[in-house]
Amino acid sequence: MLIKLKLENYKSFDSETEISFVSSAKIRSHPMHKKKIKQTSILKYGVVYGANASGKSNLVDAFAFIKNSVQSGIPVAAGNDFCRNRKENREKPSSFEIQFTVGKTFFAYGFSVILSQRKVTEEWLYELLQNGEARKLFDWEQESLPSLGEGIALSNEEQLRFSVYSQDFTSQKSGLFLTEMNHGKIYDIHSKLQFFSEAYRWIVRNIIVLDPNTSISNFEQYYDEKSLEAINQLIQTFDTGISHVSVKKISMEDLSRMIPEPILHQLIDDLRAQMEASSVPRIQMSWRTTNSIVNIRIRQNGEPEITTLSLKHGSSIFDFDFKDESDGTQRIFDLMDMLLTKREDIIYVVDELERSLHPKLTEHFLRLFMDAHEGQSVQLLFTTHEDSIMDQDLFRRDEIWFVERDSENDSTIYSLDRFKERYDTKLSKAYLDGRYGAIPVFKKFSFKQED
């Protein structure tokens, strides 16, 4: 589970900033909104408010940046992502640290990088202990070899492997050692180096980031009989007019109208190659286009089977396509996997969760999410402008955060909990009245009449 994120000199965040999921001991409401691991109670939800251009999306981007950097190195596109409010920040390292749990082990992983040069200057991984101390697992600084912490006793074979990997890594400039220790490396379950694999897998697989224009749905759910039944029950609760969702076959010719033909043939060739390389009897891929949800399934020596969604509205005898639905209804389909997932220990980081959704529909979705994952280690952090859900009946005070820009255009993050509000305070009204900051501040403008 996510414990904390720290960042510095990244986009609109200049000085070190953090958002924490450690629960406040003074708040007793919503006990099911936290999960206790050892002696630490970790929150399951976080909602972030702020004016337009306050830095909310930059906070979401930081999660994607960390995940992408660990997966495949510092992205080329990040060269200008240092905080450009000050000239000196161009040559100053940007710092990122994420604290999380894997099972009952607490990790703190981070790195510093001069983004304008894509040059990593430092990297570290620690195990956080319950007494407040930290045990070094590995670290390295610029111009030095990675080193393990004291007490990590390796066998002669593992010591040799680690030495070779460290030497090979010295030529890297924009790569991370955590990435190096997971590319093509397999660790025995009893290996003292297993922490490299555990930390890497959690960051790459368990952080799921969604911006307002992309989807995280696993559309394969729509092609499984049991999950499709659950989808039909769920979609009817949203009052979209859809009474039934089913799957229908379409031809290659139909699909070529949705996807350019050269890209379509290349996609099918790639799927066949993946099937042969992995020696599996069949392979399938689902994705969402602007106007449709499509699935391609290929069996050995068989023709591709292509399917899409067909929707029924009430008692109408006609079928409706995905493109016939409103933006809000399509958004519900995009988010559906968040309600259906059976995975444990994941965090969804969503920018503008409420995009195209009615306020009551947003609240309904959140309550469904909380019910679906009650007692599970599934977390949700999202940004929003929707003030109607800023309600202590829905969220704890320590789950509500604000992002605000100061006079230097620097973003800061702070929690509602610092205001010590009463349990019966109307939070949304106090927020819009400006009590907590993080709202737009307008300047006057006069339309002058011509003579």
- The SS3 assignment for 208 reads strand
Helices 327-340 & 225-237, crossing angle to 10 degrees?
Answer: 130
Confidence of residue 442 (pLDDT cuts 50, 70, 90): confident
Q: What distances in angstroms separate CA 4 from CA 49, 70, 126, 406, one per listed residue?
A: 18, 17, 14, 23
Contact 381, 348 (CB under 8 A): yes
Instruction: Render the burial of 227-266: b for 16+ CB within 10 Å, e for the rest.
Output: bbeebeebbeebebbbeebeeeebeeeebeebeeeeebee
Per DSSP, the three-state class of 109 is strand
pLDDT at 276 over 90: no
The mean of the pLDDT values for the chain is 92
List the single range of 23-27, 107-111, 282-286 with lowest mean pLDDT: 282-286
User: What local confidence, expressed as pLDDT, does residue 143 receive?
Assistant: 84
The fraction of the chain above a pLDDT of 90, given in percent, is: 70
The pLDDT score that the predictor gives to residue 371 is 97
- Clarify whether residues 172 and 27 are in a common domain: yes
Q: Going by C-beta distance under 8 Å and a sequence separation of 6 or more, which residues neighbour residue 366?
A: 389, 394
Instruction: Say if residue 383's pLDDT is above 90.
Output: yes
pLDDT of 288 strictly over 90:
no
- Please state the φ and ψ torsions of residue 206, each to the nearest 5 degrees: -100, -10
Specify whether 158 is located in the same domain as 303: no
Q: What is the domain extent for residue 445?
A: 1-216+341-451
Q: Tell me the pLDDT band of 422, cut-offs 50, 70 and 90.
A: confident
Residues 94-104, mean pLDDT to the nearest whole number: 97
pLDDT at residue 428, rounded to an integer:
92
pLDDT band at 263 (very low <50, low <70, confident <90, very high): confident
pLDDT attached to residue 451: 60
Residue whose C-alpha is closest to residue 322's, from 297, 354, 351, 286: 286
Residue range 109-118, pLDDT digits in tens = 999 999 999 9
Query: pTM for this structure?
Result: 0.92
Q: Assess contact for 82 and 92: CB atoms under 8 A.
A: yes
What's the domain count of the chain?
Answer: 2
- Examine the domain organization and report whether 352 and 331 are in the same domain: no
Q: Which of 87-96, 208-217, 219-228 has the highest mean pLDDT?
A: 87-96
**209 and 235 belong to one structural domain:** no
User: What's the CATH number where 138 sits?
Assistant: 3.40.50
The mean pLDDT value for 377-406 works out to: 96
Which of 335, 361, 395 lies at the terminal end of a domain, its last residue? 335
Task: Tell the residue number behind the tokens 């004291």, with chain if given.
Answer: 150
Q: In angstroms, rounded to a whole number, what is the distance separating the alpha carbons of residues 158 and 188?
A: 10
At 86 the pLDDT is 96
- 239 and 149 housed in the same domain: no
The pLDDT value recorded for residue 94 is: 98
| pLDDT, position 294 | 86
Identify the domain boundary among 283, 303, 335: 335
Same domain, 23 and 83: yes
Give the pLDDT confidence score for residue 358 in this predicted structure.
Answer: 95
| Geometric angle at alpha carbon 251, from 267 and 225, rounded to 5° | 85
Q: What gap in Å lies between CA 92 and CA 119, rounded to an integer?
A: 11
Neighbouring-strand partners of residue 49: 402
Last residue of a domain, one of 335, 366, 387: 335
362 and 424 housed in the same domain: yes
pLDDT tens-digit readout, 289-305: 777 888 888 988 888 99
- Residues 291 and 208 reside in one and the same domain: no
